[in-house]
Structure 1
């Protein structure tokens, strides 16, 4: 697992299956189903062996996959938000005593890393209303607070220190962190949402790990929601080579030496060769699609609506939209 860069448990499990004849993993359960037009994959890491094999902490990882079409259709966006809310409700326990803190991780000055701050700007924030004007707000409304703490390079303060300070002061029952992730599959960039209940390490997607935000460090359950917005240059090169190899193999005779040679290429050897050819500087580059501005605006709205619906079960999406507008 150290040879690939991905934040998705789904991809970590796929990688193991590719490298082994038996795709089953002791300590990992997988459930797949379709909700409306969203492909949902629930990966459960059950024990230490599962943690070791796929490199993910014990817990639940729910992945939602959809197509580009979602960004251009209002009904499709609402469908994804509703599915996200439904899946989020499976790992979030909400009652009338709950106070939630939503943390938008990332750098708002860099578009592929601005997902977290964009989501927090679209949330239904209610904690101040419940505290200062309780008579003017419905009793069924859950107190929700939100922050976008920035990154170490902007603030000079570790994100974990800022979040810990707010948690100690606000005393939420639940923390939801939103962050940009990295994928090893170009087709999943900006088309995938992952929900996890094991917390998150800010910056992990680009190899810049900071102190983890999890139940152990914050003292309350931490849910992580992320979208892969980048792939590294080596992954992009690898996918390109895979497409070329598939095309060459489809045009070659299956009993030819050339076909056998192409079919025998080892993925690890190919990945190592790519990184050697790209060199240290290029192999550390990350790449994002050119329409990232539009995508971040759309997907942040999808995620914000999903969180709003899950945290405010007494309200409909129309009610939430009226509040925000």
Structure 2
């Protein structure tokens, strides 16, 4: 699939690894100013995309920084070993993006709408996270070494609160003055295979609602005044992307069949876009697709993300400790 298709349908590419692969596939060469490293684990793989130059920033459509993608298809199978590995890898990679003292103050933010399941990842992660800031003040005897002060909020969305999410977070940041903000949000993927199997960690912050085409106030170092790390999992795919892939496969079958090849040759170059436009016209091209089991996928992945964050922020906590906390 070409990058021009995403631009034509105004589809934002949330995952840096997908933006890189699309751009590299279109140009047929490595992208100058982008460094890519890969790691392999038993149940998962990690791709680290580093955007280091301004030109690459413009080509990728993403700010300079580090984008870490963890892929684990076995997460959909409710594989406990894979879940533990991914949580531990997430903790390790998240820790690599900050250097905080033990007495640091961290704010967790769960973006999204808790009334819409595909958009409820952020609030669900907050629900499962180890929050300790109040204990430092009211029950310090309950805390051991290797624990940090962590507070959390799920601020809702503009349509519920009437307030820009960034404004809410900025107010809290000014009040409690954290050294780091970690935001969690649902993302849109360019492939159904990535739903609930891919986690992206980025030290560049996030733009709320960007996955469904909204242009909103960013939550990043510039707007918050403190470093912001964003963590996201794809929960939806744009319907135009699924339609495009379907049509492409159909055209490949026409082209490969000698009896039908003439039909393929007679098709106009803009055939695909016209068909997709006609199908999606009632929704103005903004139709998003999510699997019917999204409830259970959000439930399981939110615990994995919360576990990884908790292990990264609280060095004394391991995966088993986190499971005891959940229960």
Match of 1:223, SS?
strand
CA distance in 2 between partners of 1:144 and 1:265 (Å): 57
Corresponding residue number in structure 2 for 1:164? 170
Question: How many Å apart are 1:70 and its aligned residue?
Answer: 4.6
Question: How many Å apart are 1:29 and its aligned residue?
Answer: 1.1
Question: How many Å apart are 1:270 and its aligned residue?
Answer: 6.0
Corresponding residue number in structure 1 for 2:316? 314
Equivalent residues of 2:254, 2:264 under 8 A apart: no
User: Does 2:18 align with 1:11?
Assistant: yes
- Residues 273-282 or 127-136, more deviating: 273-282
User: Does 2:126 align with 1:120?
Assistant: yes
Q: Which runs of 5+ in 2 are unaligned?
A: none
Corresponding residue number in structure 1 for 2:59? 53
Match of 1:43, SS?
strand
Question: How many Å apart are 1:33 and its aligned residue?
Answer: 2.0
- Residues 242-251 or 124-133, more deviating: 242-251
Q: 1:132 to 1:159 in 2, by over 3 A?
A: same
Q: 1:118 to 1:270 in 2, by over 3 A?
A: farther
Alignment of structure 1 residues 1-325 onto 2, 5 Å = 2-3=7-8, 4-22=11-29, 24-252=30-258, 258=262, 261=265, 269=270, 272-282=273-283, 283-325=285-327
Deviations 1:18-46 (Å, cap 9, x if unpaired)?
Answer: 22222x11111111221221121111111
CA distance in 1 between partners of 2:279 and 2:310 (Å): 43
CA distance in 2 between partners of 1:241 and 1:135 (Å): 62
| TM-score, normalised via structure 2 length | 0.91
CA distance in 2 between partners of 1:322 and 1:69 (Å): 21
Question: How many Å apart are 1:242 and its aligned residue?
Answer: 2.5
Deviations 1:262-291 (Å, cap 9, x if unpaired)?
Answer: 9x997xx46633443234333211111111
Match of 1:149, SS?
coil
Question: How many Å apart are 1:62 and its aligned residue?
Answer: 0.6
Question: How many Å apart are 1:139 and its aligned residue?
Answer: 3.1
- Residues 165-174 or 274-283, more deviating: 274-283
Equivalent residues of 1:126, 1:143 under 8 A apart: yes
Match of 1:198, SS?
coil
Q: 1:53 to 1:70 in 2, by over 3 A?
A: same
Question: How many Å apart are 1:319 and its aligned residue?
Answer: 2.3
CA distance in 1 between partners of 2:44 and 2:271 (Å): 33
Equivalent residues of 1:234, 1:274 under 8 A apart: no
Equivalent residues of 2:43, 2:74 under 8 A apart: no
Q: 1:259 to 1:187 in 2, by over 3 A?
A: farther
Q: 1:186 to 1:118 in 2, by over 3 A?
A: same
